[in-house]
Amino acid sequence: MSIDTDLELTIRKVADGDTDDFLVLCKLANIDPKSDLAGADLRGTCLRAVDLSHADLRGADFSGADLTLANFSFASLENANFSNATFENTNLENAKLDGAIFDSNALRGEGSRLETIYASDSVEVVSYESPPQQTVFIVNADGAARDSLTRLMDSAGTAAESYISAHEFLSTYDVARPGCLLLDANMPDMSGVEMQRQLNLRGAAIPVIVLVASVDAPSAAEAIEHGTFELLTTPIGDDNLLDCVQRALRRDADNRARQSNAQHFREILASLNSREREVLMLVMKGKLNNAVAADLGVSQRTVQVHRSRVMQKLQARSLADLVRIVSELELKP
């Protein structure tokens, strides 16, 4: 059984906390955890005490997963990603870990053999830093409105910072900081559209929510054209505002995750050797193995080996997946 959309949705249910029994869910979904999880998205999943010995988990993403007491003995874990995963009495004896990525700050519990693993030249150890906290940046010239909005964010457990002017915000904002912008359209120093334009010029993809007393069609069209996330007419209820803020924060998180993944794949592409890249470019043109072999003057077996290595490095589960990943990076054949 290959990884497909249904499987990915099922795995996400585990990661999202819909169930705490991973193996039961796999059984209900007709998933064999020993053979169906190569390349699976297991980020943040609770895998406490799960037996995955001898499983094929090549290229699986375990980043942020709880692997306490999990058994991976003799499992195939080549190119798996364990960054920010929790290890406590995790059994990795005799597991195949070539190309696996581990976090230098991972919890190293007894029995996990991580000290030995980290010393191996076959794995990659990366430093992991907790992502910056998402923040709602409130820009409003009205002091009472700033205070009210800040209290509302605090009541919802959302970090907030307030600014008296657009220039004050722009002079201090770091585009690497995640969150969203809650902007009063009637700022005396800069309009909402001009603020969005300035953010675009700085490469800041932070979602912008603009609060307006009223809105006409031309103004709305102009705001959308410049990438404004939402125009909200005031007064607005607290629940509706908080809902919009949460949607904006999710959008920002998704955007940053895509950017991070794209950079990761670009680095992998840059690491391909010349033959792997030649094979990839010809495959991207739609050529079959025999045609690629003829073009390069090598055997089909050689092409198959290089193609397999490329797909493994890019964690592509199928040819369609490989084409999608490379096409999204706008790599031209």
Selected residue with higher pLDDT from 141 and 26:
141
CATH numeric code, 135-256: 3.40.50.2300
Percent of the chain at pLDDT > 90 equals 20
Q: Which residue has the higher pLDDT, 179 or 85?
A: 179
Q: How far apart are CA 177 and CA 131, in angstroms?
A: 9
Topology, domain 272-328: Arc Repressor Mutant, subunit A (1.10.10)
- Per-residue pLDDT, averaged over 217-232, amounts to 72
pTM check: above 0.85 = no
Alpha helix (H) residue ranges in 62-137: 114-118
- Whether residue 17 is predicted with pLDDT greater than 50 in this model: the reply is no
**pLDDT at res. 152:** 96
Q: Is the pLDDT of residue 128 over 80?
A: no
What are the domain boundaries of the chain?
1-130, 135-256, 272-328
Q: What is the pLDDT of residue 7?
A: 45
Question: Which value, to the nearest 10 degrees, does the dihedral of the CA atoms of residues 152, 155, 158, 162 take?
Answer: 40
The per-residue pLDDT for range 95-117, each reduced to its tens digit, is 888 888 876 655 444 445 565 56
Cβ-based burial of 170 (10 A; exposed 0-12, middle 13-18, buried ≥19) = middle
Distance CA 230, CA 245 (A): 10
Chain centroid, CA 49 distance in Å: 26
The H or E element that residue 101 is part of is strand 101-103
Residue that the structure tokens 């959302």 belong to: 158
φ/ψ of residue 183, rounded to 5: -120, 130
Residue type, 270: A
